[in-house]
């Protein structure tokens, strides 16, 4: 057996689970394998890869460079996992600077995962989520038009004013975030992210987002984040609140027919292929009568309020 002893040892610094220690990166020898007609390079890394392993190549140099290439990548990966491994200074990757692993790691980082086309089952779940977002967005109007009038008539309601305001605020936030999610599904919000599901995952359905760019920006700033513009007082000294900033009923007036059209489109798409789901969709579409009635009630209430204030 042909063998080339190397005995190359580099002492390295390790920080593992908060403990500092030293250890060696060892390149022991190159051995020719008669059975496979290739060379093997034996190496080890104390603490993390202490058992001697080998990498093969067509000649001694190929086996050696492949081993160093892997060692460099392995050390870099260990650093990313939270360990510290260095030779002369932190971040020097144990002194191993091989361009092949750098290029490969860069190529992998730039590669986007290839997502498989959505199955009908996956689309069914997505459609249910779209429907649920619209229902969630109606929570505020349901509270104002249907629940609050009954609750406020109770003799002890005044004592629960703080709790009522908590529910009101939660309804406002839920409505606005749900509307933003719906608008994103229907094409709003700019570039599609890798994991996003949008209307273009349902070939044949076309639409435009229902929120304006300004409305989306305001929801992002005043609802999804705590910003200076949100707490800025107006001339009367009142701090703006989301229900005063946004006309949620007007947004729902645009979102409702768009979502309804999408559900009817999907109902036609699945046809008899998923008859049970088609029946579920019909039941879901039946709720639109209640939602649209709530919109009309809101418009009527707002007209009366406007007339009283004139």
Give the angle 258-177-227 at the CA atoms, nearest 5°: 135
Burial 186-198 (b: 16+ CB within 10 A, else e): bbbbeeeeeeebb
Residues facing 56 on adjacent strands? 40
> What is the separation of C-alpha 295 from the centre of its chain, rounded to a whole number of angstroms?
32
End-to-end CA distance of the chain: 102
* pLDDT by residue, tens only, the chain of 310 residues: 689 999 999 999 999 878 899 999 999 999 998 888 899 999 999 988 877 778 888 999 999 988 998 888 888 888 887 889 999 988 888 998 755 544 455 555 445 555 667 888 889 899 999 999 999 999 989 988 888 888 888 888 888 888 888 998 899 999 999 999 999 999 998 777 778 899 999 999 999 999 998 888 888 887 877 777 666 654 445 555 555 568 899 999 999 999 999 999 998 888 767 778 878 888 888 888 888 888 888 887 777 776 666 5
Q: How far apart are CA 254 and CA 125, in angstroms?
A: 23
pTM value is 0.59
* Measured distance CA(128)–CA(134) in Å, rounded: 10
The ranges assigned to domains in the chain are: 3-110, 120-309
């Amino acid at each position: 057996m042909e063998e080339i002893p190397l005995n190359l040892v580099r002492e390295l610094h390790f920080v593992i689970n908060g403990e500092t220690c030293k250890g060696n990166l060892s390149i022991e020898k190159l051995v020719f394998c008669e059975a496979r007609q290739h060379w093997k390079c034996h190496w080890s890394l104390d603490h993390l890869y202490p058992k001697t392993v080998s990498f093969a190549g067509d000649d001694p140099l190929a086996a050696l460079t492949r081993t160093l290439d892997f060692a460099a990548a392995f050390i870099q990966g260990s650093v990313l996992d939270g360990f510290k491994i260095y030779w002369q200074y932190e971040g020097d990757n144990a002194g191993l600077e091989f361009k092949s692993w750098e290029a490969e790691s860069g190529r992998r980082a730039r590669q986007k995962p290839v997502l498989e086309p959505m199955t009908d089952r996956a689309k069914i779940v997505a459609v249910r989520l779209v429907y649920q977002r619209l229902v969630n967005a109606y929570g505020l109007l349901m509270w104002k038009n249907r629940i609050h009038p009954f609750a406020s008539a109770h003799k002890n309601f005044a004592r629960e004013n703080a709790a009522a305001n908590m529910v009101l605020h939660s309804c406002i936030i839920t409505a606005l975030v749900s509307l933003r999610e719906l608008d994103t599904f229907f094409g709003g919000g700019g570039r599609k992210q890798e994991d996003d599901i949008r209307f273009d995952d349902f070939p044949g359905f076309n639409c435009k987002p229902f929120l304006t760019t300004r409305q989306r920006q305001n929801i992002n700033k005043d609802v999804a984040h705590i910003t200076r513009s949100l707490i800025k007082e107006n001339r009367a000294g009142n701090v703006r609140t989301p229900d005063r900033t946004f006309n949620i009923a007007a947004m729902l007036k645009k979102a409702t027919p768009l979502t309804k059209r999408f559900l009817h489109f999907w109902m036609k798409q699945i046809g008899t292929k998923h008859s049970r789901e088609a029946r579920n969709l019909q039941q879901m579409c039946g709720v639109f009568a209640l939602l649209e009635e709530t919109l009309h009630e809101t418009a009527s209430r707002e007209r009366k309020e406007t007339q009283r204030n004139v």
